[in-house]
Chains A and B, each alone.
Chain A
Amino acid sequence: MGEHANLYMGKDIYFWNFIVLMVFTLFEVAAVFFETVPGTEIAISRSVVWAILIVVGIVKGYGIAAFFMHLRDEHKWFNITFMFPWIFVALMLWGIGLSNPEGVTGLPSWCTPDWSYATER
């Protein structure tokens, strides 16, 4: 604390981080709530909603970890401690892809083993 003494428009970084988190939460709820872009006929597809939820989640996660948890000002070993389990998260996501029925034929070849025996047998 105190590392962010700089003020932006009279308020510190914690305040602005708080505002960003609130606005982005509204944005993600709105993305699910509206079936078309408000005021237009443009449909919001499931893929777009999915992308919005992931991007907003990453932004919010970064805001909380970097500013509220002060990781931005901590030395690298605290950052490494925080990031270490995410390796397993990535591995689990990869495993989900491989073990899913769609993983046999639906995933790009660079992230799957050779599944040809499964499809050609």
Chain B
Amino acid sequence: MTSQLCHIERIIGDRAEPGLAHRLHHLAHEGRVETVTVAVADLPRRRFRAVTDQGTECAIALPRDTRLFDGAVLLLEDDRAIVVKVGEQEWLKLRPAEGFALELGYLAGNLHWRVRFADGHLLVAVDVPRERYLARIEEHLAAGRVTLVDG
């Protein structure tokens, strides 16, 4: 099993770089560009196993100062390439009622949620099933102190 592993120890570059893009374009025409999908929450990982969309098992061990990104080229051979695709990040968009923003911010920090702010809304990164986030603010949703926007 180990002998079939594709060992990857560096990022060759960004698929958008002209030199790489040209070679990848040709390989893609022949269906030889494989994709490894990495969840946003897993991007900081330096060592992990992954399987490409074409079934190649990869053993990825990157230098500590390297960070994965969407479009990172991990392998580029004459007849094959492997490129990273970052999974989409889902966000919960929450609107606090007037006077409740501070408390909602405190709650999110206390629960160690990853958040962003936009137009008076709190965006919470969905790293575990969304029901688990909603369960934590159930009372506030019911009382109208927080509103879930867009679903």
Q: Do A and B come from one complex?
A: no
Binding site for B on A (CB under 8 A): none
